[in-house]
Chains A and B, each alone.
Chain A
Amino acid sequence: EPEVTQTPSHQVTQMGQEVILRCVPISNHLYFYWYRQILGQKVEFLVSFYNNEISEKSEIFDDQFSVERPDGSNFTLKIRSTKLEDSAMYFCASRDGGMDTQYFGPGTRLTVL
């Protein structure tokens, strides 16, 4: 069964450093998403991506964040200058055009020191 994959599973970085989180969505899907979950809190929407552009973003997704689909298979989330409060689990998700069900990856745990 096709699945969404994410790498790395855990990323540790120093405050102020750039990080790139990688996702490979399900191959025939058209809509891509990033969510995050700070420890003990709810899962929050960050951004949605369709037709090679951002279709919606939340207030959390400020100028420090960017997304890219560089090669037709990967979908990346970049944080330019990490802050302590960026420490969280980041989930990638995708869905096809006809269904509203999103399929999630296993997540990347980001720890900012």
Chain B
Amino acid sequence: ETGVTQSPTHLIKTRGQQVTLRCSSQSGHNTVSWYQQALGQGPQFIFQYYREEENGRGNFPPRFSGLQFPNYSSELNVNALELDDSALYLCASSRSAGETQYFGPGTRLLVL
């Protein structure tokens, strides 16, 4: 176990709704990165948060947004959900930006 936790484990939403996913980083880690893993694919980088600031973003639209809190936990928010947003959402924490990333178990999102 990596010590990275995510909630909820599963979620079902309908198209157009909004969703918030949560991640608690491993103790001593100040950086959280979020990834989207579609079925049968490798994870794709969404963005990274370092000390409460966004610190790099992948090729995802602005309706994907995030936050990092003073305790370094993080949220991923997705607005105006689309069917293609159905995926496993993974967060990974690291001791600092640029260091080894350790993944949580993921949140499985299904958009109907």
* A is bound by B: no
